[in-house]
C-alpha cells in the first residue's frame, strides 16, 4: 500500500509540474467593463514553483507580481493581493484557459489564449546591462528603523566625487523606476545622467517594492521626510560631492522637492522640477479635469460647466473641517449646479439623471477624496514654499501636458521664484511633449502606453546641459 501511495503521489507531482511548464509564457485575455480591456498573465517556473505577473497595458499596470499561484491538475488559481484580483480557470488545452477574473468581489468571464512570444513592452530607451557605470541595489532605514527603503544607486566608474541627484516620483505608489505603462522613466534618466558624470539615487516609494511604511495616513509631507532619509544616506556615500546634491521631482515629486529644499537648505544645492505645480492644487486639478474631458471628446463648453462644480467640490474637501461638513457642501453644490445647468450637460459629464444617481455620484466623489493624502494634496499651495527657496532651480513642463498645464504652472513657478532668494533659475516649456515628456500625437493620457518613446532625448540633454553649467 505504501508503494502504491508513493507512486500515486509521484504521478500527481509529475502532472502538476507538467501543468506548470505548460503554463510558462504569456497569456492574453479580454475583460468587458463597458469597454474591452486586454489583460496579460505571464507565468514562469522557478525551482519547481510557478510564479506569475500581470500587465494591463491600457491602465498602466505592469509587472504586478502574484502573491500565490495554485495548480491542481488542470485547474489554476492566481492571486494578486496588492490589486485585490483573483483569477481561477481550467486549462482546456495547451493554448486556452477558460476562467473568471474576480476583483473586489465582482466576477467577470475571462478566457486566456497563449501568446506566441512572451509579452514585452516595446520600450527601446529602457537601459539594459551591461552598464558603463556602477549600478548597486541598496537597502537603508530611517533613524528609528521603522521604515526600510529599497533603492538603486548608479555611480560613474572612477574614484572621484560627483554631484548627486535623488529622483522623486509622481503621485500614486511608484517603484524606483517610476514604472508606468511599461515605461521606466527614472531608469532612463539615471542611465543618461550617470553616463554624464552624476550619481543618481532612485528609490521605491513608501509601501512599494522593497520599501516598507504605512500609507494609510501618509501625506506628501511624509513623502518629503522619506526623501530626507535618502538625502542622509546619499551624504554618507564616498562617491558623492556633498556640496552638490540635488533633487529631481516629477509631478507630485515637483511639489515634494521644494518642501525638502526649504527644510534642508544647507544640503540642497539645486532642484529640477519636471511638470511640478506652480498654482494651487485646486486650480491645477480643475484645469487638468477640463483638459482631460476635452481630450476624450467632451464638448469644451460642457467641460467648463462641469469644472465649475468640480472646483467647488475640491475646495470643500480642502477647507471643510470634517467629512460630514464637506459631504453636506458637496451634495448641496450638486443640487444647485443641476438646477442651473442643462440636463444634457449634467448627464454627459457626471452620469446624474435623478436623485439616486446624484447620491451615488456624491458618495463616490467623497469616497475617492476622503483620505489624508488627498486632503493634504488638494489644500496645497506651492507659492509660499517656492518663495522660500535659496537653491538653483530648473523648471520644465511639456507643451502638450494635460495633467499639469504648462502655461499656468510655469508662470506660477516663475512668479514665486522672482520673490525668492533663488536668483539662479531657468523656466522652460518643451513643445510637443506630454506629462511624461514623450513626443505625442493625440497627447491624451491613454496614449502614454501606446508610445514607444519613454522621454524625448532633447529633454535629457536640456537637463544635462543645465546641470553641467550650473552644478558641475
CA distance 435 to 397: 7
**Domain hosting residue 140, numbered range:** 134-280+380-470
Beta bridge partners of 70: 77
Residue 208 and residue 229 share a domain: yes
* Whole-prediction pTM: 0.86
Give me the pLDDT at residue 64, please. Answer: 87
Report the CATH number at residue 105: 2.40.128.120
Residue 338 and residue 295 share a domain: yes
Task: Show pLDDT as tens, one digit a residue, over the chain (472 residues).
Answer: 334 444 444 444 344 444 456 788 999 999 987 778 999 999 988 777 888 999 998 887 888 889 999 988 889 999 998 788 999 999 998 899 999 999 877 889 999 999 999 898 899 999 999 999 999 999 999 999 999 999 999 999 999 999 999 999 999 889 999 998 889 999 999 999 999 999 999 999 999 989 999 888 999 999 999 999 999 999 999 999 999 999 999 999 999 999 999 999 999 999 999 999 999 999 999 999 999 999 989 999 999 999 999 999 999 999 999 999 999 999 999 999 999 999 999 999 999 999 999 999 999 999 988 999 999 999 999 999 999 999 999 999 999 999 999 999 999 999 999 999 998 999 999 999 999 999 999 999 889 988 999 999 999 999 999 999 999 8
DSSP 292-307: HHHHTT--HHHHHHHH
Total domain count, the chain:
3
Give the domain-ending residue among 358, 378, 398: 378
Is 129 inside a domain boundary?
no
Is residue 57 a contact partner of residue 182, using CB atoms and an 8 Å limit? yes
Phi, psi of 139 (to 5 degrees): -130, 135
Is 81 inside a domain boundary?
yes
Give me the pLDDT at residue 83, please. Answer: 83
62: buried, middle or exposed (CB in 10 Å: 19+, 13-18, 0-12)?
A: buried
Per the listing, cell 457642501 goes with 329
Q: How many CB atoms lie within 10 A of CB 214?
A: 11
Is residue 253 a contact partner of residue 170, using CB atoms and an 8 Å limit? yes
Residue 384 vs residues 323, 377, 416, 419: alpha-carbon distances, Å: 27, 15, 8, 10
Amino acid at each position: 500500500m505504501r508503494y502504491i501511495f508513493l507512486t500515486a503521489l509521484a504521478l500527481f507531482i509529475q502532472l502538476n509540474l507538467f501543468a506548470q511548464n505548460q503554463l510558462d509564457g504569456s497569456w492574453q485575455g479580454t475583460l468587458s467593463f463597458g469597454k474591452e480591456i486586454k489583460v496579460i498573465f505571464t507565468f514562469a517556473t522557478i525551482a519547481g514553483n510557478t510564479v506569475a505577473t500581470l500587465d494591463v497595458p491600457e491602465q498602466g499596470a505592469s509587472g504586478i507580481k502574484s502573491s500565490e499561484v495554485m495548480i491542481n491538475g488542470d485547474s489554476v488559481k492566481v492571486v494578486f493581493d496588492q490589486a485585490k484580483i483573483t483569477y481561477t480557470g481550467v486549462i482546456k488545452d495547451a493554448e486556452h484557459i477558460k476562467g473568471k477574473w474576480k476583483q473586489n468581489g465582482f466576477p467577470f468571464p475571462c478566457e486566456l489564449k497563449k501568446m506566441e512570444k512572451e509579452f514585452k513592452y516595446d520600450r527601446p530607451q529602457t537601459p539594459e546591462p551591461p552598464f558603463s557605470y556602477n549600478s548597486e541595489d541598496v537597502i537603508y532605514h530611517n533613524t528609528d528603523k521603522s521604515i526600510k527603503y529599497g533603492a538603486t544607486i548608479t555611480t560613474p566608474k572612477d574614484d572621484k566625487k560627483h554631484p548627486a541627484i535623488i529622483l522623486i516620483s509622481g503621485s500614486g505608489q511608484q517603484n524606483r523606476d517610476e514604472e508606468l505603462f511599461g515605461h521606466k522613466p527614472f531608469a532612463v534618466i539615471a542611465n543618461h545622467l550617470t553616463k554624464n558624470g552624476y550619481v543618481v539615487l532612485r528609490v521605491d516609494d513608501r509601501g512599494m517594492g522593497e520599501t516598507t511604511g504605512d500609507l494609510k495616513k501618509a501625506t506628501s509631507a511624509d513623502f518629503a521626510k522619506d526623501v530626507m532619509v535618502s538625502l542622509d544616506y546619499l551624504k554618507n556615500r564616498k562617491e558623492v560631492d556633498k556640496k552638490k546634491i540635488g533633487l529631481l521631482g516629477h509631478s507630485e515629486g515637483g511639489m515634494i522637492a521644494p518642501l525638502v529644499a526649504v527644510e534642508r537648505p544647507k544640503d540642497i544645492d539645486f532642484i529640477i522640477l519636471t511638470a511640478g505645480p506652480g498654482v494651487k492644487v485646486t486650480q491645477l486639478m480643475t484645469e487638468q479635469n477640463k483638459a482631460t474631458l476635452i481630450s476624450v471628446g467632451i464638448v469644451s463648453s460642457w467641460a467648463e460647466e462641469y469644472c465649475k462644480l468640480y472646483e467647488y467640490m475640491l475646495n470643500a474637501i480642502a477647507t471643510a473641517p470634517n467629512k460630514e461638513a464637506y459631504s453636506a457642501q458637496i451634495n448641496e453644490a450638486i443640487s444647485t449646479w443641476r438646477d442651473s445647468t442643462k440636463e444634457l450637460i449634467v448627464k454627459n459629464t457626471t452620469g446624474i439623471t435623478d436623485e439616486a444617481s446624484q447620491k451615488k455620484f456624491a458618495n463616490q466623489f467623497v469616497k475617492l477624496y476622503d483620505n489624508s493624502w488627498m486632503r493634504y494634496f488638494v489644500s496645497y499651495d506651492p507659492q509660499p514654499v517656492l518663495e522660500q527657496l535659496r537653491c538653483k532651480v530648473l523648471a520644465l513642463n511639456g507643451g502638450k501636458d494635460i495633467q499639469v498645464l504648462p502655461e499656468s504652472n510655469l508662470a506660477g513657478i516663475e512668479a514665486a521664484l522672482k520673490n525668492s532668494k533663488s536668483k539662479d533659475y531657468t523656466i522652460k516649456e518643451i513643445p510637443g511633449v506630454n506629462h511624461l515628456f514623450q513626443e505625442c500625437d493625440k497627447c491624451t493620457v491613454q496614449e502614454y502606453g501606446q508610445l514607444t518613446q519613454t522621454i524625448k532625448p532633447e529633454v535629457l540633454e536640456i537637463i544635462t546641459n543645465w546641470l553641467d553649467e550650473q552644478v558641475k
